[in-house]
Structure 1
């Protein structure tokens, strides 16, 4: 396939250029292929700009202490309460999951959150040949009169901080690690002296660094066969697997990874880790629905090892889903009423309404145009008297759906769980609703999905809706994909295609074809770039000049998407160039100036877009999703970054009038079909592709699907849900 003539220096979008044909020569196919969720370019940079953090909400006008709690604290409190509820449910079962973490309380919660944070310098998931999954683009919730309240985690005691500082200094570790280690709680310094490899519990620390720390503290007693080292590296590998999307690892995979980390007896290291209850072991049948074996025969199984956090979440999710599937939904409205509502809807929207009428769990698949069908369902359910709500991955998705459904019907997942948006909870702690439609369902990881399903009251209906072709969640699991494959409930596929040249292009990508499309309105334009420097230059021209002039979309409504944060054309380089052009300034407050476009992380692994308003003694004042937020000075570096350019995972769940996708040559290993599909489908009216990837782009679309993830949800469901007829 050919492209249009190369644009002039002004990079004015000339005509409907397209990417090269997927059938073109792919002699370069020998390059290493990373997995789904790739967001790491070939060149990584050394700063970590996605560290975990909580931010204080802007509430200077409210005098009560409860109102001063941050949205991060509210969310963490809601999750803690819900996990306690899950734990109680697990305790009622005959075979509960054993406790598997030595730390407890707020220190353990914070540590678990820190581990999941994306690190800009050393992508953890590369241990398993899969680039780091970036953060989920989740919103900052809208304040409601009934927020979940809890005390924010207290700062470590001065004595704890000082003792941690001393032990780190003795081991030659950097001063910068003091806050993270001190956050592990009282006695952290003593535990670290006793077992120096516990330093691996700090985000960004790798085994070779922990080994150097241990040698400095232990001297000749330090060795690669130390049992403490084997346990710490085992837990570290399981954490890295979670960052890569796995909820557990098969035992041979884990032992092989331990060998690569210099653990001489991998089997002994795993056994020690299990004995100390720092991990759990599972034996899952390869075919859980197969008949019981004959006497004397053994059922084929696979042995997996995982962390309690994700094992508990996945088992709780399976429990909640089975409860929905096996129960009879609350009878709101007669069968005739539901049938009339289905008849009045068009096409597959009617099928969706009929399926929801008689089932507790329904899956709905489709692209952007298919959102009209959940909107029709919500309208019909409310007409029948149901307390029906929808929840979306981020504020952009929430607002887009609310415009379709009309009225106060949509929330964000974060806001719904924290109680700051939506119906709130009933006296039993369950969500006060009868029907919940979860949009952007592929973005649900096992923990979020478990919290949602366990929060539903008995008799409620759950609809998971989304586009199965987009990137999976940044967190562990592939909930939507596992449910689609398990076929344990009705699945309604929308027959509404996305319209226009963009819809045609994206639909082709979804089936592995990068087709030429006719774009008379310059809906799709290809801008060649010889190298990363030219890619940055042309991107700035497109956002600042060409797209506003030729398409009529202003810079603030154009989103740049690129595969990674580092590299010569990653988000850092692009954001620096775009700031210089669109909002130059001295950056006196942590590199930011009023008017800067930002990406803010109120909690670990979550992002919401916004703008800088001002900076003063209180901190950096932002406006995010229509809310005012104040980020204290000490949190700015960890939780705020410029946001003209995002990764595809950060952009998932959002759509913009114009999108510029930058594909530099040094990031071709990050390209997969889901990545390209997600990035290209974020555009509503116009898509510019700054193409420096050459044949890597059509090859990724044609040949590189999503990388499999190791999960237990299908097996767990198979043991609790009757075999589909």
Structure 2
């Protein structure tokens, strides 16, 4: 470590900015400090494997022979060994002996547990100021930030997080992690540090620190979008006339605008509510009729089924899911470069796209292809780090079509008002929207069960399985666990013979963050729990049941995003007021197609949540990276 870095009086932020400028000017090597990763490549070619099925568990990493004993010596459970091996690889034992705080790389391990493990192995040498501890905590904080959607953080936020974990010199720990190559540092030219620069001076850019994994994804995604734009040739002659004719025949003005935009550009964004989903479908059908190879991709299997139903069996367009494509379970065979033979890919639910799958998806498109990102930026965002649709929109580099098609009925009117911050009373002559006031969580559970099992089925001629309960959280006296227990007792009482489940139970299968498949339990055998949905029957391995399966009569709004049901009961207990914001309310209420019941226990907090700007702005780099792409004229 240089004396410059060790000087207590130095300004850490100024030192970081100076180092970044030195790298960019060529005065300093970027090998250990500043790095632009190579963009990710498309997966190896895979043949189509038939209908969609749940993704298999990742291949198990062999557990080193000495790892369980090492964990036991450090006071950690030996059963943790497979997860540690999966996180650290085959050299896990060697890495932990050299640096016990590497245990923090294992999902679910907290800093306190890693500290106890290090003290057990190192004794008095395991102090809070150990450089290895600081570096491990920097990575842990960035991974925690990724769970909240961030792909990078400001150094000051990292330093504050380190200080909360008793790191004695947090700014120094951040610098050390950067210099050791554990994290990367970037200049965010879109956000000057102290506002606009004086005339003739360059503004100091804000700095961001991130993990290479997410930096690669955003770099690769920006490069991929630039590649599509740079290799696209706008149609002329008869082809241009065909696109014009297709726009003239479009079912709505917004669909016509989208068709015109996609005919002239490689990358187009499209935004709107539920009713606007018909517009990207009209585009895909028009492209298919023009002889282009087109596909539409949804986020969830339920979305794919709805797309396929709307397209019809004879449509020249394939409906898939993003995860199915990337896992090789859906879509056509890739070519020799790992790319799909498509001229147009329309991605609906694009607000659910995280940076990593988006990068892989764009890299899977051939040169000259068109990409349309269609979604609703007012909905809750992706489960993974990144905010692809919002960043592409904010970059201003691609045509944007804003749908003018309103969502119909009282539910549509209510949700549209929420989108602009207004919780208005709507006329619902057929009880399409009902508010059910409750005084406490116990009453909320009671009224919810009554609505799902009696009131809504009787009034709207629906089965209880067509009604979904949406709540802010899993825990609490009126969370998903409590409500699912009450609904199971009423709808499918049983002993829970297999991990709490019985045949006939409605369950939510979530093999990975952001992926949800609602299924019904069929039976159990030595292999695990057999479940089924409209796509067929599959087994959840015995060892994966507790981790990936929950009862599914009640779900959270994050789980429900991208799905829709005839009727929804949104439960807002008083203790959930702090978890509400406009995006949550907009998402939860908008999952109802015909009827919405709001079990309202949080009083005026609901209106305040809707009126306030959406919370939780994500820290990402994509919009700046897209803006940095050269504005070269299209190829041809």
TM-score, length basis structure 2? 0.87
The structure-2 alpha-carbon separation of the partners of 1:190 and 1:419, relative to structure 1 and needing over 3 Å to count, comes to: closer
Matches within 5 A, 1:598-617: 598-617=507-526
CA shift for structure 1 position 367:
0.6
Aligned to 1:384: 290
CA shift for structure 1 position 696:
1.1
The structure-2 alpha-carbon separation of the partners of 1:152 and 1:538, relative to structure 1 and needing over 3 Å to count, comes to: closer
Q: Map Cα deviations across residues 603-662 of structure 1 (whole Å, 9 max, x no partner).
A: 355221111110011211111442211122112111211111111111011100000111
Rounded to whole Å, the distance in 2 between the matches of 1:142 and 1:617 is 30
Rounded to whole Å, the distance in 2 between the matches of 1:675 and 1:655 is 15
Q: Map Cα deviations across residues 551-610 of structure 1 (whole Å, 9 max, x no partner).
A: 222111111110011111111111111111111111111111111111112335522111
Rounded to whole Å, the distance in 1 between the matches of 2:233 and 2:406 is 31
CA shift for structure 1 position 146:
11
Aligned to 1:635: 544
CA shift for structure 1 position 418:
2.3
Rounded to whole Å, the distance in 1 between the matches of 2:324 and 2:112 is 40
TM-score, length basis structure 1? 0.77
Are the aligned partners of 2:569 and 2:599 in contact in 1 as well (CA < 8 Å)?
yes
Q: 1:342 and 2:247 equivalent? A: yes
CA shift for structure 1 position 714:
1.4
Matches within 5 A, 1:17-96: none
Q: Map Cα deviations across residues 43-102 of structure 1 (whole Å, 9 max, x no partner).
A: xxxxxxxxxxxxxxxxxxxxxxxxxxxxxxxxxxxxxxxxxxxxxxxxxxxx973599xx
Task: Identify which of 530, 535, 548 aligns with 2:439.
Answer: 530
Rounded to whole Å, the distance in 1 between the matches of 2:615 and 2:291 is 41
CA shift for structure 1 position 169:
1.9
Rounded to whole Å, the distance in 1 between the matches of 2:453 and 2:432 is 17
Q: 1:163 and 2:69 equivalent? A: no
The structure-2 alpha-carbon separation of the partners of 1:241 and 1:287, relative to structure 1 and needing over 3 Å to count, comes to: closer
Rounded to whole Å, the distance in 1 between the matches of 2:271 and 2:228 is 19
Rounded to whole Å, the distance in 1 between the matches of 2:547 and 2:482 is 18
CA shift for structure 1 position 331:
4.2
Task: Identify which of 452, 469, 476 aligns with 2:361.
Answer: 452
Matches within 5 A, 1:323-362: 323-329=227-233, 331=235, 334-345=239-250, 346-362=252-268
Aligned to 1:14: none
Are the aligned partners of 1:329 and 1:460 in contact in 2 as well (CA < 8 Å)?
no
The structure-2 alpha-carbon separation of the partners of 1:296 and 1:550, relative to structure 1 and needing over 3 Å to count, comes to: closer
CA shift for structure 1 position 691:
0.8
Rounded to whole Å, the distance in 2 between the matches of 1:658 and 1:293 is 54
Task: Identify which of 96, 103, 106 aligns with 1:202.
Answer: 106
Q: 1:645 and 2:550 equivalent? A: no
Number of residue pairs matched? Answer: 584
CA shift for structure 1 position 143:
4.9
Q: Map Cα deviations across residues 143-165 of structure 1 (whole Å, 9 max, x no partner).
A: 518999999624524xx2x5222
Rounded to whole Å, the distance in 2 between the matches of 1:150 and 1:393 is 18
**Uncovered stretches (5+) of structure 1, i.e. residues with no partner:** 1-94, 101-140
The structure-2 alpha-carbon separation of the partners of 1:236 and 1:280, relative to structure 1 and needing over 3 Å to count, comes to: same
Are the aligned partners of 1:99 and 1:308 in contact in 2 as well (CA < 8 Å)?
no
Matches within 5 A, 1:482-631: 482-631=391-540
Are the aligned partners of 1:147 and 1:419 in contact in 2 as well (CA < 8 Å)?
no
Matches within 5 A, 1:301-340: 301-329=205-233, 331=235, 334-340=239-245
The structure-2 alpha-carbon separation of the partners of 1:152 and 1:393, relative to structure 1 and needing over 3 Å to count, comes to: closer
Rounded to whole Å, the distance in 1 between the matches of 2:371 and 2:91 is 44
Task: Identify which of 576, 598, 603 aligns with 1:689.
Answer: 598
Q: 1:180 and 2:86 equivalent? A: no
The structure-2 alpha-carbon separation of the partners of 1:259 and 1:151, relative to structure 1 and needing over 3 Å to count, comes to: closer
Q: 1:703 and 2:612 equivalent? A: yes
Task: Identify which of 172, 190, 208 aligns with 1:268.
Answer: 172
Structure scoring higher RCO (CA < 8 A, sep ≥ 6) equals 1
The structure-2 alpha-carbon separation of the partners of 1:691 and 1:264, relative to structure 1 and needing over 3 Å to count, comes to: same
Rounded to whole Å, the distance in 2 between the matches of 1:145 and 1:335 is 36
Rounded to whole Å, the distance in 1 between the matches of 2:148 and 2:229 is 29
Are the aligned partners of 1:361 and 1:462 in contact in 2 as well (CA < 8 Å)?
yes
Aligned to 2:159: 255
CA shift for structure 1 position 179:
2.6
Are the aligned partners of 2:37 and 2:216 in contact in 1 as well (CA < 8 Å)?
no
**Uncovered stretches (5+) of structure 2, i.e. residues with no partner:** 1-33, 40-46
Rounded to whole Å, the distance in 1 between the matches of 2:513 and 2:585 is 25
The structure-2 alpha-carbon separation of the partners of 1:299 and 1:513, relative to structure 1 and needing over 3 Å to count, comes to: same
Q: Map Cα deviations across residues 673-711 of structure 1 (whole Å, 9 max, x no partner).
A: 010000000000010111111111110000141321111
Rounded to whole Å, the distance in 1 between the matches of 2:307 and 2:457 is 26
Q: Map Cα deviations across residues 351-374 of structure 1 (whole Å, 9 max, x no partner).
A: 111101110001111111111111
Rounded to whole Å, the distance in 2 between the matches of 1:295 and 1:573 is 61
Are the aligned partners of 1:321 and 1:453 in contact in 2 as well (CA < 8 Å)?
yes
Rounded to whole Å, the distance in 2 between the matches of 1:664 and 1:498 is 27
Are the aligned partners of 1:330 and 1:460 in contact in 2 as well (CA < 8 Å)?
no
> What's the secondary structure of 1:334's corresponding residue?
helix
Rounded to whole Å, the distance in 1 between the matches of 2:514 and 2:280 is 28
Are the aligned partners of 2:384 and 2:513 in contact in 1 as well (CA < 8 Å)?
no
Provide the alpha-carbon RMSD of the alignment.
2.6
CA shift for structure 1 position 300:
2.0
The structure-2 alpha-carbon separation of the partners of 1:287 and 1:695, relative to structure 1 and needing over 3 Å to count, comes to: closer
Rounded to whole Å, the distance in 1 between the matches of 2:204 and 2:610 is 36
CA shift for structure 1 position 421:
1.7
Between 475-484 and 269-278, the greater mean CA deviation after superposition: 269-278
Rounded to whole Å, the distance in 1 between the matches of 2:602 and 2:356 is 35
Are the aligned partners of 1:449 and 1:479 in contact in 2 as well (CA < 8 Å)?
yes
Q: Map Cα deviations across residues 470-506 of structure 1 (whole Å, 9 max, x no partner).
A: 1111111111111111211111111110111011000
